[in-house]
Chain A
């Protein structure tokens, strides 16, 4: 573990190295103390625990601190007004809002570094903020402190390299804006998590979406990140490289992707772009049962048909969408497909898919190739969340997702669906079934304690079931606040302790988005 120190940027280690050297001297030298690498991990993490500011060991937001922030980034960019703090107190999850004490608006990476340095010095919690569109409470400032809104003033598209298929953006650039900028280039950024999210925020949460089955997730589409650590150190995780492949050094880009603001603030992301498909065809078909629909989807994937999108909606969801968008889909479990490629390729993919689904008693197979007709077909899927909200007006939704190996999807989904039906809570399901991923939207009356309990039960059982099937408790949304309790069961104690070690090393004062992803003990 001490070896870890020599590979990281020197300036960071002048702060931490003394502490680690002290611990190392006592434990690593003595062969008796070290029985296995795992013991070393446990011993060191326990030792650092006593030195770090975990629960409650924070500084307060004093006038002095606020003045220092204002000196660093400008008076009018350190905001304490109620309205702005409220805007930065909640995301799009069901988790309760928590007001930060201050909202900081840095304009450059240097200012971000200054803000973090100050927060670290004064031990004030700080949450990096993008578009606030997260679904698991990941950006809620549960320990108060500062919300550092990176999207407001850092809005540059730094570069677009058409010939190399990559683009570099600041946190204020959302995916829709990036695609609009690319519209004449023949390239696009295909990761579509639904919301018009910040691309850097998508890197922080390892976002995914409907196109993941063909174009993969952020994990596979981030080439480089500019990250600022808790002590203000700025780094490019891949340095100067825009290479599509590299074997140089440890994968720091991968470390920060999906770290949900707990390891660093992301101030720039270089992402992969993909060629826009020559042609696209969409198709919809209904099935008599959920199992038939999901089994059909599984066989489509196993037949290696290169679908670009394959989405499942259960009858409740189709009904909600029909009512909301004025559509007339048959109210049955339904699959939505999209095929990308040359005209002959998509015709072939569509034909092969039609053959597969007919073996599962597909009710119809409607194909749309005109852009307007395709848009109408997909309107159903795009509006799914709003349709759910409209289905039970006045109640909030709890939306969550799990992901399992495709061979287990049918069982996982059908068992979860019966559990939802038993609980009596309306819970439409929509899923990226090509990845083995599905989302449940529980329409819960949050003022009804009993209903909330039942809803929590459903989520608990759903996540445990997925983990038990060698899957994950969160395919796309992240751990955030609510799923921390599943992390150990899913990744195992070795992995969890390593994550804790990394967190303590990179953020010994636990100021970066505390209370998220993992509990430090």
Chain B
């Protein structure tokens, strides 16, 4: 008997974590053309967790969502190859608009999709490795007025409740939240499976619905204005001094820190 809970998971397309990031010559962003992209690692963990819920016969239909240009279709195919049933691609082709999207925009998009799809659980990665905002899940919960469980490192579902272990600064926190809820996945929640060739082939035939954000009624006008993007300052070589007096002198007069 398969589970009946629909699960919605966000899959952001980001620059692959192994790539060395370079600032664009116009200093308004980073170089993305021709650079390897992949699914945000925390989103992979979210995808894996949803699949495990279905294997435990708790989840039923698994839906992957991605917002962005047409290449996001590839990101969705990865989720489908890992075992998801269908994808929703919220198409945003205007490059400048895409670059100024913030978690609040995304949370609003997801809120509209949740209204339509009515999932019993939404799992997002705790943060994206490009923005590092760590806001989307929390904002989505706020917009939906749903309970939230962020930094989840352990998840188990028991009827209408989800038992969560969260990784917090002080250690581990055990809570339970009523479903439906928004969960954000932390690193140690699971280890994502590798896609297999037969599943990659099957995924090509799974449906991906395209959605226009305007149809959803979400206003994507920029809420931020990018002023400048720069490399961090180049690390300078350390300086050796001969004695303590010289050290004090240079700290005082050159570095100006004492």
Q: Is B198 a contact of A188 with CB atoms below 8 Å?
A: no
Q: Is A186 a contact of B191 with CB atoms below 8 Å?
A: no
**Which chain A residues border B199 with CB–CB below 8 Å?**
186, 278
- Which B184-235 residues sit within 8 Å CB-CB of chain A? 190-200
Q: Is B194 a contact of A186 with CB atoms below 8 Å?
A: yes
- Max chain B CB contacts within 10 Å: which of A177, A184, A277, A375? A184
**Which chain B residues border A447 with CB–CB below 8 Å?**
none
Asked if A288 lies at the interface with its beta carbon under 8 angstroms from chain B, I say no
Give chain A's interface secondary structure class: mixed
**Which chain B residues border A278 with CB–CB below 8 Å?**
196, 198-199
Q: Is B200 a contact of A186 with CB atoms below 8 Å?
A: yes
Asked if B244 lies at the interface with its beta carbon under 8 angstroms from chain A, I say no
Q: Is A186 a contact of B195 with CB atoms below 8 Å?
A: yes
Asked if A180 lies at the interface with its beta carbon under 8 angstroms from chain B, I say yes
Asked if A183 lies at the interface with its beta carbon under 8 angstroms from chain B, I say yes
- Max chain A CB contacts within 10 Å: which of B38, B39, B195? B195
- Which B1-41 residues sit within 8 Å CB-CB of chain A? 18, 38-39
Asked if A185 lies at the interface with its beta carbon under 8 angstroms from chain B, I say yes
Contact of A372 among B38, B81, B190, B197 (CB under 8 A): B190
**Which chain B residues border A147 with CB–CB below 8 Å?**
none
Q: Is A185 a contact of B193 with CB atoms below 8 Å?
A: no
Chain B contact-residue range equals 10 to 19
For residue B89, give the distance in angstroms from its CB to the closest CB of chain A.
17
Q: Is B194 a contact of A188 with CB atoms below 8 Å?
A: yes
Instruction: Given A177-B18, A186-B81, answer yes or no on A276-B191 (Cβ-Cβ < 8 Å).
Output: no
Q: Is B196 a contact of A277 with CB atoms below 8 Å?
A: yes
Q: How many angstroms between the C-alpha atoms of A185 and B194 in the bound complex?
A: 8
Q: How many angstroms between the C-alpha atoms of A181 and B18 in the bound complex?
A: 8
Q: Is A184 a contact of B78 with CB atoms below 8 Å?
A: yes
Q: Is A275 a contact of B196 with CB atoms below 8 Å?
A: yes
For residue B143, give the distance in angstroms from its CB to the closest CB of chain A.
31
Q: How many angstroms between the C-alpha atoms of A466 and B74 in the bound complex?
A: 52
Q: Is B18 a contact of A180 with CB atoms below 8 Å?
A: yes
Q: Is A375 a contact of B191 with CB atoms below 8 Å?
A: yes
**Which chain A residues border B192 with CB–CB below 8 Å?**
183
Q: How many angstroms between the C-alpha atoms of A183 and B194 in the bound complex?
A: 6
- Max chain A CB contacts within 10 Å: which of B18, B39, B190, B196? B196
B50-78 vs A, Cβ < 8 Å mask (1 yes, 0 no): 00000000000000000000000000001
Specify the chain B residue showing the minimal Cβ separation from A274.
Answer: B197
Q: How many angstroms between the C-alpha atoms of A188 and B200 in the bound complex?
A: 14
State the total of A-B contacts with C-beta under 8 angstroms: 38
**Which chain A residues border B78 with CB–CB below 8 Å?**
184
Q: Is B18 a contact of A187 with CB atoms below 8 Å?
A: no
For residue B84, give the distance in angstroms from its CB to the closest CB of chain A.
14
Q: How many angstroms between the C-alpha atoms of A275 and B197 in the bound complex?
A: 6
For residue B240, give the distance in angstroms from its CB to the closest CB of chain A.
14
Q: How many angstroms between the C-alpha atoms of A187 and B194 in the bound complex?
A: 9
**Which chain A residues border B195 with CB–CB below 8 Å?**
183-186, 276
**Which chain B residues border A183 with CB–CB below 8 Å?**
192, 194-195
**Which chain A residues border B191 with CB–CB below 8 Å?**
371-372, 375
Q: Give the number of chain A interface residues (Cβ < 8 Å).
A: 16
For residue B52, give the distance in angstroms from its CB to the closest CB of chain A.
8
**Which chain A residues border B196 with CB–CB below 8 Å?**
186, 275-278
Q: How many angstroms between the C-alpha atoms of A27 and B193 in the bound complex?
A: 64
**Which chain B residues border A371 with CB–CB below 8 Å?**
190-191, 193
Q: How many angstroms between the C-alpha atoms of A175 and B226 in the bound complex?
A: 39
Contact of A186 among B18, B38, B39, B197 (CB under 8 A): B197
Specify the chain B residue showing the minimal Cβ separation from A179.
Answer: B194
For residue B192, give the distance in angstroms from its CB to the closest CB of chain A.
8
Q: Is A187 a contact of B193 with CB atoms below 8 Å?
A: no
Q: Is B197 a contact of A276 with CB atoms below 8 Å?
A: yes
For residue A24, give the distance in angstroms from its CB to the closest CB of chain B.
52
Q: How many angstroms between the C-alpha atoms of A375 and B190 in the bound complex?
A: 11
- Which A160-185 residues sit within 8 Å CB-CB of chain B? 177, 180-181, 183-185
For residue A65, give the distance in angstroms from its CB to the closest CB of chain B.
26
Q: Is B190 a contact of A184 with CB atoms below 8 Å?
A: no
Q: Is A184 a contact of B197 with CB atoms below 8 Å?
A: no
**Which chain A residues border B39 with CB–CB below 8 Å?**
184
- Max chain A CB contacts within 10 Å: which of B194, B195, B198? B194
For residue B125, give the distance in angstroms from its CB to the closest CB of chain A.
16
Q: How many angstroms between the C-alpha atoms of A276 and B193 in the bound complex?
A: 10
**Which chain A residues border B194 with CB–CB below 8 Å?**
183, 186, 188, 276
Q: How many angstroms between the C-alpha atoms of A186 and B196 in the bound complex?
A: 4
Q: How many angstroms between the C-alpha atoms of A303 and B78 in the bound complex?
A: 38
Q: How many angstroms between the C-alpha atoms of A180 and B194 in the bound complex?
A: 10
- Max chain B CB contacts within 10 Å: which of A180, A183, A277, A371? A183
Q: How many angstroms between the C-alpha atoms of A62 and B161 in the bound complex?
A: 74
Q: How many angstroms between the C-alpha atoms of A186 and B18 in the bound complex?
A: 19
Q: How many angstroms between the C-alpha atoms of A181 and B37 in the bound complex?
A: 11
**Which chain A residues border B18 with CB–CB below 8 Å?**
177, 180-181
Q: How many angstroms between the C-alpha atoms of A132 and B198 in the bound complex?
A: 37
For residue A375, give the distance in angstroms from its CB to the closest CB of chain B.
7
Q: How many angstroms between the C-alpha atoms of A257 and B17 in the bound complex?
A: 32
For residue B187, give the distance in angstroms from its CB to the closest CB of chain A.
15
Q: How many angstroms between the C-alpha atoms of A188 and B194 in the bound complex?
A: 9
Specify the chain B residue showing the minimal Cβ separation from A183.
Answer: B194
**Which chain B residues border A276 with CB–CB below 8 Å?**
194-197
Specify the chain B residue showing the minimal Cβ separation from A277.
Answer: B196
Specify the chain B residue showing the minimal Cβ separation from A186.
Answer: B197
Q: How many angstroms between the C-alpha atoms of A187 and B18 in the bound complex?
A: 18
Q: How many angstroms between the C-alpha atoms of A277 and B195 in the bound complex?
A: 9
Q: How many angstroms between the C-alpha atoms of A371 and B55 in the bound complex?
A: 12
**Which chain B residues border A275 with CB–CB below 8 Å?**
196-197
**Which chain B residues border A277 with CB–CB below 8 Å?**
196
Interface residues in chain A, defined as those with a beta carbon under 8 Å from any beta carbon in chain B: 177, 180-181, 183-188, 275-278, 371-372, 375
9 A-B Cβ contacts within 8 A? A183-B194, A184-B81, A186-B197, A275-B197, A277-B196, A371-B190, A372-B190, A372-B191, A375-B191
A184-B81, A187-B197, A371-B191 known; 18 new pairs, CB 8 Å cut-off, are A177-B18, A181-B18, A183-B194, A183-B195, A185-B195, A185-B200, A186-B81, A186-B196, A186-B200, A275-B196, A275-B197, A276-B194, A276-B195, A277-B196, A278-B196, A278-B198, A278-B199, A375-B191
8 closest A-B pairs by beta carbon, nearest first, are: A186-B197, A186-B200, A276-B194, A275-B197, A276-B196, A184-B78, A278-B196, A186-B195
